[in-house]
Amino acid sequence: MNRFLGYRCSLCGTEYGPTEVTYTCPKDGGNLDVVLDFEALRAKFQPSDIASRSDPSLWRYLPLLPVAEFPGSSTPLHAAGGTPVFALRRSGERLGLKHLWLKDESRNPTASFKDRASALVVARAHEVEAKVIVTASTGNAGAALAGMAAAVGQKAVVLAPKTAPPAKVAQLLVFGATVVLVDGTYDDAFDLTLKAAQEFGWYCRNTGYNPFTAEGKKTAAFEIWEWWIEVHREWHEKDSPLDDHSPLTIFVSVGDGNIISGIHKGFKDLLRLGWIPNLPRIIGVQAEGSAAIANAFNANTEKITPVSATTLADSISVDLPRDGVRAVRAARETKGTYITIPDSEILRAIAELGRMGVFAEPAGATAYAGLVKATASGVVGSDGPVLVLNTGSGLKDVKAAMQAVVEAPIIEPTLEAVKKIL
């Protein structure tokens, strides 16, 4: 069944066939939404057709994805997605929330949410027989591409700012990608990647540019949907007094705006299939020093004005977000909002999540920092169930992690010295 019909521009609404365009709208540069044949999908599939698939990875949603198959079964490409959800009971109590969970995306094969996008792009590259895939990256998207590409023997090139955390650069190199560190910002690397892709005929994965990235990211929404059904089932069994219809609120950290757009797209797909009655509320969280999308949301406009980004959360440090319009809509169309967070609170969130057993990189902890602010200001009430995403592992940025904690003392190897310290 050919379910991939083509693309629709998110700005002007023009529709394109699957081979007519590759990246963005030729008329206005708008991000392209992948269009699926929902009529055929509705006729052919029920939620139980997904639930009965035994594959725990994101490929369990293959019937709802715009690729016919995925290369590399039994490789790390096959392990993307299927991330766990943990109850954060102590945090919930402290914040006055009855139901608080965290979906830990750091458990992906290369330790960030970006594996979802790269998995789909690598599958698409396989279909269009691309020889080389290139991406600009603050580190995670590149590591995800490099890892997924290595898994199937695909050639990858990554352009990252030279300031990318060393652990991320190490990942790129160890996965065997061709790595180029750009003496400039992520935005400089982004623009250079577009030029290089055109010059050398490479297939470009850039976030918020290649329409398949959001298609990979939407699989997180599908997982949340299945998990949420399970939570409801358990509540019914326990005869929980909680109102069945309390909407879920999801907190997501935002840089280019592609994760939040992808998650929004996933829920919109489910709504079109008639598999959910309404959309969950989606709240985007940006660093104060990199808040172009939050600024647009708060000014009630879709015009994204670039900033000069400065934040220690390198993964969400973006001057001009490339998926800004759809990211504004993700919050607006779900009755969500945007929250901005200073770096000091991001560091505090790293430490707090750590005490729950979750090790997050700064951009990963930003969503949780947003939740802390949202509970203090009443943006979320105590009854509303909340799910926070951790989008990346703390092992990716040890320098930032060390800023979030007090250093361990160094002592003489004697019991006396231990006693003195304790």
Ligand X SMILES: Cc1ncc(COP(=O)(O)O)c(C=O)c1O
Sites for Zn ion among residues 38-97 (CB under 5 A): none
Pick 112 or 154: Cβ nearer ligand X: 112
Sites for Zn ion among residues 165-204 (CB under 5 A): none
Owner of token pair 């489910």: 270
Q: From the list Zn ion, ligand X, none, which binds 255 (C-beta under 5 to 8 Å, kind-based)?
A: ligand X
Binding mask 312-341 toward ligand X (x if CB under 6 A, else -) reads: ---xx-------------------------
Sites for ligand X among residues 190-219 (CB under 6 A): 207
Q: From the list ligand X, Zn ion, none, which binds 25 (C-beta under 5 to 8 Å, kind-based)?
A: Zn ion
Q: From the list Zn ion, ligand X, none, which binds 297 (C-beta under 5 to 8 Å, kind-based)?
A: none
Interface residue with ligand X among 392, 397, 401, 404 (CB under 6 A) is: 392
CB distance 191 to 134 below 8 Å = no
Pick 71 or 255: Cβ nearer ligand X: 255
Considering only the stretches 196-204, 228-236, 254-262, 407-415, report the one whose residues sit in contact with ligand X under the rule CB under 6 A: 254-262
Q: CB atoms < 10 A from the CB of 65, how many? A: 26
Q: Is the dihedral of CA 389, 148, 199, 65 positive or negative?
A: negative
Contact call for residue 110 and ligand X (CB under 6 A): no
Q: How many residues bind ligand X (CB under 6 A)?
A: 21
Minimum distance from residue 51 beta carbon to ligand X (Å): 28
Q: Which of 189, 175, 163, 184 is nearest to 399 (CA)?
A: 163
Interface residue with ligand X among 24, 83, 110, 112 (CB under 6 A) is: 112
Q: From the list ligand X, Zn ion, none, which binds 12 (C-beta under 5 to 8 Å, kind-based)?
A: Zn ion
Owner of token pair 């055929």: 40
Contact call for residue 370 and ligand X (CB under 6 A): no
Pick 231 or 291: Cβ nearer ligand X: 291
The SS3 call for residue 86 is strand
Q: From the list Zn ion, ligand X, none, which binds 4 (C-beta under 5 to 8 Å, kind-based)?
A: none
Contact call for residue 25 and Zn ion (CB under 5 A): yes
CB distance 362 to 346 below 8 Å = yes
Binding mask 344-363 toward ligand X (x if CB under 6 A, else -) reads: -----------------x-x
Pick 28 or 55: Cβ nearer Zn ion: 28
> Distance between CA atoms of 30 and 23, rounded to whole angstroms?
9
Pick 71 or 142: Cβ nearer ligand X: 142
> Distance between CA atoms of 56 and 58, rounded to whole angstroms?
7
* Three-state SS annotation for the chain: CCCEEEEEECCCCCEECCCCCCCECCCCCCEEEEEECHHHHHHHCCHHHHHCCCCCCHHHHHHHCCCCCCCCCCCHHHHCCCCCEEECHHHHHHHCCCCEEEEEHHHCCCCECHHHHHHHHHHHHHHCCCCEEEEECCCHHHHHHHHHHHHHCCEEEEEEECCCCHHHHHHHHHCCCEEEEECCCHHHHHHHHHHHHHHHCCEECCCCCCHHHHHHHHHHHHHHHHHHHHHHHHHHHHCCCCCCCCCCEEEEECCCCHHHHHHHHHHHHHHHHCCCCCCCEEEEEEEHHHCHHHHHHHCCCCCCCCCCCCCCCHHHCCCCCCCHHHHHHHHHCCCCCEEEECHHHHHHHHHHHHCCCCCECHHHHHHHHHHHHHHHCCCCCCCCCEEEEECEEHHHCHHHHHHCCCCCCCCCCCHHHHHHHC
Pick 1 or 12: Cβ nearer Zn ion: 12
Contact call for residue 20 and Zn ion (CB under 5 A): no
Interface residue with ligand X among 58, 80, 254, 346 (CB under 6 A) is: 254
Binding mask 229-248 toward Zn ion (x if CB under 5 A, else -) reads: --------------------
Minimum distance from residue 170 beta carbon to ligand X (Å): 16
Considering only the stretches 24-32, 128-136, 287-295, 299-307, report the one whose residues sit in contact with Zn ion under the rule CB under 5 A: 24-32
Contact call for residue 385 and Zn ion (CB under 5 A): no
Considering only the stretches 71-79, 160-168, 252-260, 404-412, report the one whose residues sit in contact with ligand X under the rule CB under 6 A: 252-260
Interface residue with Zn ion among 15, 17, 27, 405 (CB under 5 A) is: 27
Going by the DSSP 8-state scheme, the letter that residue 107 receives in this structure is G
Interface residue with ligand X among 141, 143, 167, 325 (CB under 6 A) is: 141
Binding site for ligand X (CB under 6 A): 112-114, 138, 140-141, 207, 253-259, 315-316, 361, 363-364, 391-392
Binding site for Zn ion (CB under 5 A): 9, 11-12, 25, 27-28, 30
